[in-house]
Amino acid sequence: MKNEKSTFSVLFYLKKDKMKKNGLVPIHARITINGKQTQFNTKLEVFETNWKSGRAIGKSMEIQRLNSMLDDIKANIRSHFHNQLMRDSYVTPESVKNALLGKEEEANTRALKKFPCSFLKN
Protein backbone atom coordinates (compact mmCIF):
# COMPACT_ATOMS: atom_id res chain seq x y z
CA MET A 1 0.00 0.00 0.00
CA LYS A 2 1.40 3.36 -1.02
CA ASN A 3 1.69 6.01 1.69
CA GLU A 4 0.41 9.23 0.14
CA LYS A 5 1.60 12.58 1.39
CA SER A 6 -1.02 15.26 2.05
CA THR A 7 -0.60 18.70 0.56
CA PHE A 8 -1.34 21.30 3.18
CA SER A 9 -1.25 25.10 3.23
CA VAL A 10 -2.54 28.03 5.25
CA LEU A 11 -3.09 31.42 3.66
CA PHE A 12 -4.23 34.71 5.16
CA TYR A 13 -6.07 37.20 2.95
CA LEU A 14 -8.17 40.34 3.22
CA LYS A 15 -11.92 40.15 2.72
CA LYS A 16 -11.98 43.49 0.89
CA ASP A 17 -15.70 43.42 0.14
CA LYS A 18 -16.36 43.58 3.91
CA MET A 19 -14.36 46.77 4.59
CA LYS A 20 -15.71 48.69 7.57
CA LYS A 21 -16.52 52.39 7.56
CA ASN A 22 -13.33 53.09 9.53
CA GLY A 23 -11.26 51.52 6.73
CA LEU A 24 -10.34 48.31 8.54
CA VAL A 25 -10.62 45.10 6.54
CA PRO A 26 -11.24 41.63 8.08
CA ILE A 27 -8.45 39.08 7.76
CA HIS A 28 -9.61 35.61 6.73
CA ALA A 29 -7.70 32.34 6.76
CA ARG A 30 -7.88 29.66 4.09
CA ILE A 31 -6.88 26.07 4.84
CA THR A 32 -6.13 23.89 1.81
CA ILE A 33 -5.58 20.14 2.05
CA ASN A 34 -5.20 18.06 -1.12
CA GLY A 35 -6.91 20.76 -3.19
CA LYS A 36 -9.95 21.12 -0.91
CA GLN A 37 -10.44 24.44 0.87
CA THR A 38 -12.26 26.05 3.73
CA GLN A 39 -12.13 29.61 4.99
CA PHE A 40 -12.94 31.41 8.21
CA ASN A 41 -12.77 34.89 9.70
CA THR A 42 -9.81 35.28 12.07
CA LYS A 43 -11.62 38.17 13.82
CA LEU A 44 -8.52 40.30 13.15
CA GLU A 45 -8.53 43.49 11.08
CA VAL A 46 -5.99 45.69 9.32
CA PHE A 47 -5.94 48.66 6.98
CA GLU A 48 -5.51 47.53 3.37
CA THR A 49 -2.47 49.79 3.03
CA ASN A 50 -0.78 47.81 5.84
CA TRP A 51 -1.16 44.43 4.12
CA LYS A 52 1.06 42.61 1.64
CA SER A 53 1.48 38.94 0.74
CA GLY A 54 -0.51 37.53 3.64
CA ARG A 55 1.16 39.65 6.34
CA ALA A 56 0.68 43.02 7.96
CA ILE A 57 3.47 45.42 7.01
CA GLY A 58 4.90 48.14 9.19
CA LYS A 59 7.03 48.52 12.29
CA SER A 60 4.48 49.63 14.87
CA MET A 61 3.80 47.52 17.95
CA GLU A 62 0.23 47.03 16.71
CA ILE A 63 1.47 45.54 13.42
CA GLN A 64 3.98 43.31 15.23
CA ARG A 65 1.23 42.11 17.58
CA LEU A 66 -1.07 41.40 14.62
CA ASN A 67 1.60 39.34 12.83
CA SER A 68 2.29 37.48 16.05
CA MET A 69 -1.41 36.59 16.32
CA LEU A 70 -1.41 35.41 12.69
CA ASP A 71 1.64 33.25 13.45
CA ASP A 72 -0.18 31.78 16.47
CA ILE A 73 -3.26 30.98 14.38
CA LYS A 74 -1.10 29.32 11.72
CA ALA A 75 0.77 27.30 14.36
CA ASN A 76 -2.53 26.14 15.89
CA ILE A 77 -3.86 25.13 12.47
CA ARG A 78 -0.68 23.15 11.78
CA SER A 79 -0.90 21.49 15.19
CA HIS A 80 -4.52 20.41 14.64
CA PHE A 81 -3.63 19.16 11.16
CA HIS A 82 -0.72 17.03 12.40
CA ASN A 83 -2.68 15.71 15.40
CA GLN A 84 -5.58 14.64 13.19
CA LEU A 85 -3.24 13.14 10.62
CA MET A 86 -1.54 11.02 13.28
CA ARG A 87 -4.86 10.03 14.90
CA ASP A 88 -7.08 9.46 11.86
CA SER A 89 -4.65 9.33 8.90
CA TYR A 90 -7.30 11.27 6.95
CA VAL A 91 -7.80 15.00 7.39
CA THR A 92 -10.14 17.50 5.75
CA PRO A 93 -9.85 21.29 5.82
CA GLU A 94 -13.27 21.43 7.50
CA SER A 95 -12.21 19.05 10.29
CA VAL A 96 -9.09 21.14 10.99
CA LYS A 97 -11.17 24.34 11.06
CA ASN A 98 -13.74 22.76 13.38
CA ALA A 99 -11.01 21.56 15.74
CA LEU A 100 -9.43 25.02 15.75
CA LEU A 101 -12.75 26.72 16.46
CA GLY A 102 -13.72 24.16 19.12
CA LYS A 103 -16.59 22.70 17.11
CA GLU A 104 -15.07 19.21 17.00
CA GLU A 105 -15.48 18.82 20.76
CA GLU A 106 -19.07 20.06 20.60
CA ALA A 107 -19.94 17.42 17.98
CA ASN A 108 -18.32 14.68 20.07
CA THR A 109 -20.19 15.85 23.18
CA ARG A 110 -23.53 15.82 21.33
CA ALA A 111 -22.84 12.30 20.07
CA LEU A 112 -22.00 11.13 23.60
CA LYS A 113 -25.22 12.64 24.98
CA LYS A 114 -27.20 10.57 22.46
CA PHE A 115 -25.39 7.41 23.57
CA PRO A 116 -27.81 5.16 25.53
CA CYS A 117 -27.29 5.50 29.28
CA SER A 118 -27.81 1.76 29.81
CA PHE A 119 -24.34 1.13 28.39
CA LEU A 120 -22.81 3.54 30.86
CA LYS A 121 -24.33 1.83 33.92
CA ASN A 122 -22.60 -1.25 35.39
How far CA 48 is from CA of 12, 21, 23, 30, 57, in Å, comes to 13, 13, 8, 18, 10
Each domain of the chain, given as residue ranges in start order, spans 8-115
- Mean pLDDT computed over 89-108: 82
Within 13 Å, how many C-alpha atoms sit on residue 26's CB side?
A: 12
Q: What is the pLDDT of residues 9-50, one digit of tens each?
A: 999 999 999 999 999 999 999 999 999 999 999 999 999 999
Please give the single-letter amino acid code of residue 112.
Answer: L
Report whether 45 contacts 27 (CB < 8 A): yes
